[in-house]
Amino acid sequence: MLFGGKSVPFEPERDIPSLTGKVIIVTGANAGLGKQAVLEYARHRPQLIWLAARNVQEDNATANEIRQLVPDAPIQVLELDLASFASFGTNHMGHALLTKLLLPLLTQTAISANADVRIVSLSSDGHKFASKPGINFPSLKTPADDLGALGRYFQSKLANVLWARQLAREQPRLTVAAVHPGSVRGTQLLDNATGTPALVRLLVRAAVGVKLFMPVECVVRNQLWPSVAQGVNSGSYYEPVGVAGQESVFGRDDDLARRLWEWTEKELDGQVIA
């Protein structure tokens, strides 16, 4: 199944190559897209999959469920909370910190012969709705109430696009991509978005009801594709499936990407890592 005329044909069962010897970490992996990604990877026998999410009990249940479908799936549960910063943490800072902690190992691996080290950041086409100036730096450590829940979300998704763009420049041995997976049927994105107008939440639920959103088995393809396919341009943003060049003007702003990278690094350098 394709997402549009420009889409790259991609079927996980057919097009994910052998993952022998590969070690994979999937965040948010006990439900939704993360869970489906673990299942698809497990079918191709990597050396190890780290199933990372906040709730260990739920993580173990998910791992056991996947093992019912893929016996002996090499899954290891990892308790991981990426939302522990005071603000702006869930969609950007937590993932940036995790990557920073893993970079020594990732770069060392990338130097070895025939290594293929990849990082895929889950963004959204919502990044295109981020208001000027794209990243409002003075607001990043505040509640940013003037943006509202959706405005904060759009800004954080733009941050994912910009961070991947700059990470590719900082680490040329790695392959980095940001992706919009598509709209997942049954999404709970706005359930707790108290700053979002009721009409917007109603329209989202209506879209789900008329099946404008797609099942997770289809939507997961655009985050799987850049993690395994040939021809991925490091630093790019992709829409389903494998469609490049869809960034907003802010998403293509190299100066903004550099400024966000420097701001993020400064904030992360102040974190005490146990």
What is the reported pTM? 0.86
Average pLDDT over every residue of 143-147: 88
Q: Would you say residue 1 lies in a domain?
A: no
Least confident of 65-74, 171-180, 187-196: 187-196
In our burial notation (b when 16+ CB lie closer than 10 A, e otherwise), range 63-78 reads beebeeebeebbbebb
> For residue 157, what are the domain limits?
14-269
Q: Would you say residue 253 lies in a domain?
A: yes
For the chain, percent of residues with pLDDT exceeding 90: 71
C-beta of residue 159 within 8 angstroms of C-beta of residue 92: yes
The per-residue pLDDT for 194 is 44
Q: Would you say residue 251 lies in a domain?
A: yes
Q: Would you say residue 2 lies in a domain?
A: no
pLDDT digits (tens, 9 = 90+) for 104-114: 999 999 998 77
pLDDT digits (tens, 9 = 90+) for 228-248: 999 999 999 999 999 999 999
pLDDT digits (tens, 9 = 90+) for 88-133: 756 899 999 999 999 999 999 999 877 899 999 999 999 999 999 9
Instruction: Tell which wins on pLDDT, 212 or 71.
Output: 71
Mean residue pLDDT of the chain comes to 87
Q: Would you say residue 9 lies in a domain?
A: no
Confidence of residue 142 (pLDDT cuts 50, 70, 90): confident
Q: Would you say residue 139 lies in a domain?
A: yes
Of 192, 165, 169, 194, the C-alpha closest to 179 is 165
C-beta of residue 109 within 8 angstroms of C-beta of residue 235: no
Using DSSP, state whether 239 is helix, strand or coil: strand
- Compute the distance between CA of residue 51 and CA of residue 38 in angstroms, rounded to an integer: 7
Q: In 10 A of CB 132, how many CB atoms?
A: 6
The per-residue pLDDT for 17 is 96
Number of domains present in the structure of the chain:
1
Q: Would you say residue 8 lies in a domain?
A: no
Confidence of residue 4 (pLDDT cuts 50, 70, 90): very low
Two structure tokens written together for 235: 């630093």
- Compute the distance between CA of residue 131 and CA of residue 28 in angstroms, rounded to an integer: 27
The per-residue pLDDT for 259 is 98
Asked if pLDDT for residue 214 goes beyond 90, the answer is: no
Q: Would you say residue 230 lies in a domain?
A: yes
Whichever domain contains 45, its CATH number is 3.40.50.720
Which residue's entry shows tokens 């329209």? 203
C-beta of residue 154 within 8 angstroms of C-beta of residue 127: yes
Whole-number CA gyration radius for the chain: 18
Using DSSP, state whether 136 is helix, strand or coil: coil
Which H or E run includes 24? Answer: strand 23-27
The per-residue pLDDT for 179 is 97
- The residue ranges of DSSP E strands in 56-208, in sequence order, are 75-79, 118-122, 175-179
The per-residue pLDDT for 91 is 80
The β-bridge partners of 177 are 120, 236
